[in-house]
């Protein structure tokens, strides 16, 4: 089933994680792009426009997830933060993004992306 009109950008510096998430979401019918850093994500968005949903790792070199979110302030893109960090510092993201704990359950991921696309 193709989920027409829902573009997802996965931003994670771990290639294996990024590829696995991209394959799972593509198999579920989403249009998926990938970036390995916040900087590359911005370049991708300049060329292709903002995605509907951003799957975002917080810890990355060059430009981390928090810095990317700050640069995207005011964007209509729905953000799903991918993190293995359970510290209190994540509370500040709770208002602007849904948090998904790593390792990610693929059924939970698909459901979260589907809900974000529908929002």
List of domains in the chain: 7-118 (3.40.50.2300)
**Residue among 10, 28, 30, 7 nearest 19 (CA):** 10
Query: How many angstroms separate the CA atoms of 3 and 35, rounded?
Result: 21
Q: What is the pTM of this model?
A: 0.86
The whole-number pLDDT of residue 91 equals 52
Q: Is the pLDDT of residue 23 over 90?
A: yes
Q: Please indicate whether residue 25 or residue 102 has the higher confidence score (pLDDT).
A: 25
Structure tokens at 90: 């994540």
If pLDDT is split at 50, 70 and 90, which confidence band does 92 have? low
Any bridge partners for residue 100, and if so which? 82
């Amino acid at each position: 089933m193709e989920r027409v009109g829902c573009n997802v950008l996965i931003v994670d510096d771990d290639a294996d994680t990024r590829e696995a998430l991209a394959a799972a979401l593509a198999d579920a019918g989403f249009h998926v792009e990938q970036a390995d850093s916040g900087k590359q994500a911005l370049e991708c968005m300049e060329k292709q426009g903002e995605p509907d949903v951003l799957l975002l790792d917080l810890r990355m070199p060059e430009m981390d997830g928090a810095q990317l979110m700050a640069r995207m302030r005011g964007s209509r893109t729905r953000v799903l933060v991918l993190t293995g960090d359970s510290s209190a510092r994540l509370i500040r993201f709770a208002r602007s993004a849904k948090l998904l704990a790593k390792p990610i359950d693929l059924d939970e991921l698909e459901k979260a992306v589907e809900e974000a696309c529908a929002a």
